[in-house]
């Protein structure tokens, strides 16, 4: 037997190490937060506290709860199964790993790698987060306690090969905009694997309920999620996947490149260029509209003013869309003969510095001279 013997049973350990008020409920969403004395009466519960992982929980989508024995793998402490289907959650007690803000990252990464290795060996659901699990203390499930040992991660790593590579690519889980982005990324990848089945067996309302339940399960990593945030993300993912997603490998592009002989990288490059062109054109329209708005209001048209209206930085306007201002300046410049003179109603500058006059180039007439004065503009707008 790997690991070290505990001083009490695994079920006792489970109760003692629960959070003071864990997430719980009678369905997978587990939206309730209750004192643990009340929480253990619910069918589903968060087995680990937010700051400490004491259990590795594996979700078996198949009915072979004894697969660990067939593959000569470490035996779980607890098997919590559904009597009707035989599907189960396997609980492995491990030496606790700190997950707080001050925790060291290496032990967390090591634990995740060991978890992935054991999940693959058990043919468990690799997308399962382990945040909400079947409650082994609830009589709704069939719970079997096998032993009261606590595993060290090194012990498990000696039996299964740790997998450092995440289930999804790092950029998929990079939290660039906050917790909602992370929830959205995790939820949509799960939805891709489930929506075609849901379409063939049920209605959109049933699909929405399923996505909502999954969203609440995923969100328990963040205890500060608001209910409207979770439901907003879930509705967005449910609606898009139901209406738009047609399956992996299906070309949904509008450029007709699916049957092209071009290499994939070239098709991706062409699609990226088209997307970029669409975005640029849309931004141009917004800028032109903002310029017209300022003009109609009689407001001085400056890049700063336009930037505020279109929610872009002035630097972006200057570096990428300066030509729109130049075109407008030309359009609004009055003509006299074949020469352009400065338009008094359109200005893109605060300072206007006239070039030095060079006598040989001017006639004796001041009026004639005014027609060919070259004016430099310093754009501080």
Identify whether residues 1 and 109 lie together within a single domain: yes
The pLDDT value given to residue 360 = 37
Query: Cα dist. 163→16, 40, 116, 125, 152 in Å?
Result: 30, 33, 6, 15, 17
**Can you give the pLDDT at residue 285?**
83
Res 42: pLDDT: 95
User: Structure pTM?
Assistant: 0.50
Whether 59 maps to a domain, the answer reads yes
> Could you tell me if residue 372 is inside a domain?
no
Q: Are residues 180 and 124 in the same domain?
A: no
Residues 17 and 79 in one domain: yes
Q: Is residue 373 part of a domain?
A: no
**How much is the pLDDT for 329?**
59
One domain for residues 119 and 2: yes
- Domain range for 30 is 1-167
Say if 53 falls within a structural domain: yes
Mean pLDDT by 10 residues, the chain (381 residues): 68 94 88 91 93 94 91 95 91 93 87 93 87 93 94 93 62 45 82 89 89 78 60 87 76 53 62 67 83 85 84 76 69 52 45 40 37 37 42
Q: What is the CATH number of the domain that holds 231?
A: 1.10.340.50
Three-class SS of the chain: CCCEECCCCHHHHHHHCCCCCCEEECCCCCCEECCHHHHCCCCEECCCECCEEEEEEEEECCCCCCHHHHCCCCCCCEEEECCCCCCEEEEEEEEEEECCCCCCHHHHHHHHHHHHHHHHHCCCCCCCCCCCEECCCCCCCEEEECCCEEECHHHHHHHCCCCCCCCCCHHHHCCCCCHHHHHHHHHHHHHHHHHHHHHHHCCHHHHHHHHHHHHHHHHHHCCCCCHHHHHHHHHHHHHHHHHHCCCCCCCCCCCCCCCCCCCHHHHHHHHHHHHHHHHHHHHHHHHHHHHHHHHHCCCCCCHHHHHHHHCCCHHHHHHHCHHHHHHHHHHCCCEECCEECCCCCCCCCCEEEECCCCHHHCCCCHHHHHCCCCEEEECCC
Residues 135 and 163 grouped into a single domain: yes
Residues 162 and 233 in one domain: no
The answer to the question of residue 377 being in a domain is no
For residue 363, the model assigns a pLDDT of: 36
pLDDT of 271: 66
Q: Are residues 146 and 230 in the same domain?
A: no
The answer on 155 and 57 residing in a single domain is yes
Same domain, 91 and 179: no
The domain boundary, picked from 139, 167, 195, lies at 167
Classify residue 361: in a domain, yes or no. Answer: no
My answer on whether 174 and 161 are in the same domain is no
Q: Are 2 and 65 within one domain?
A: yes
Number of structural domains the chain divides into: 3
Whether 223 maps to a domain, the answer reads yes
pLDDT of residue 1: 53
Give yes or no: residues 227 and 290 share one domain: no
Residue 335 domain-assigned (yes or no):
yes
């Amino acid at each position: 037997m790997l690991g070290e013997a505990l001083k009490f049973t695994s079920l006792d350990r489970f109760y003692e190490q629960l959070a003071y008020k864990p997430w719980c409920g009678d369905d997978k969403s587990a939206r309730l937060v209750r004192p643990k004395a009340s929480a253990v009466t619910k069918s589903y519960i968060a087995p680990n506290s937010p700051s400490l992982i004491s259990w590795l929980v594996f979700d078996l989508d198949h009915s072979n709860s004894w697969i660990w024995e067939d593959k000569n793998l470490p035996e779980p402490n607890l098997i919590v199964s559904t009597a009707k289907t035989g599907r189960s959650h396997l609980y492995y007690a491990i030496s606790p790993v700190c997950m707080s803000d001050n925790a060291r990252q290496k032990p967390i990464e090591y634990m995740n790698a060991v978890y992935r290795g054991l999940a693959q060996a058990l043919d468990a659901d690799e997308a399962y987060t382990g945040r909400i699990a079947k409650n082994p203390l609830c009589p709704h499930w069939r719970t079997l306690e096998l032993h009261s040992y606590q595993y060290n991660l090194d012990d498990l790593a000696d039996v299964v090969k740790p997998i450092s590579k995440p289930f999804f690519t790092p950029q998929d889980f990079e939290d660039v905009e906050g917790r909602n982005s992370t929830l959205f990324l995790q939820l949509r990848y799960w939805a891709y694997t489930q929506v075609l089945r849901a379409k063939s067996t049920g209605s959109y309302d049933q699909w929405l309920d399923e996505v909502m339940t999954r969203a609440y399960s995923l969100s328990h990593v963040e205890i500060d999620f608001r209910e409207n945030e979770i439901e907003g993300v879930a509705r967005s993912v449910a609606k898009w996947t139901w209406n738009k997603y047609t399956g992996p490998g299906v070309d949904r592009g509008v450029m007709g490149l699916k049957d092209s002989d071009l290499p994939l990288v070239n098709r991706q490059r062409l699609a990226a260029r088209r997307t970029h062109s669409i975005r640029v054109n849309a931004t141009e329209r917004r800028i032109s509209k903002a310029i017209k708005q300022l003009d109609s209001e009689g407001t001085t048209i400056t890049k700063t003013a336009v930037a505020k209206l279109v929610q872009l930085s002035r630097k972006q306007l200057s570096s990428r869309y300066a030509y729109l201002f130049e075109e407008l300046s030309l359009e609004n410049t009055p003509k006299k003969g074949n020469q352009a003179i400065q338009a008094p109603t359109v200005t893109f500058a605060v300072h206007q510095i006239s070039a030095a006059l060079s006598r040989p180039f001017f006639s004796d007439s001041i009026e004639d001279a005014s027609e060919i004065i070259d004016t430099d503009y310093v754009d501080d707008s």
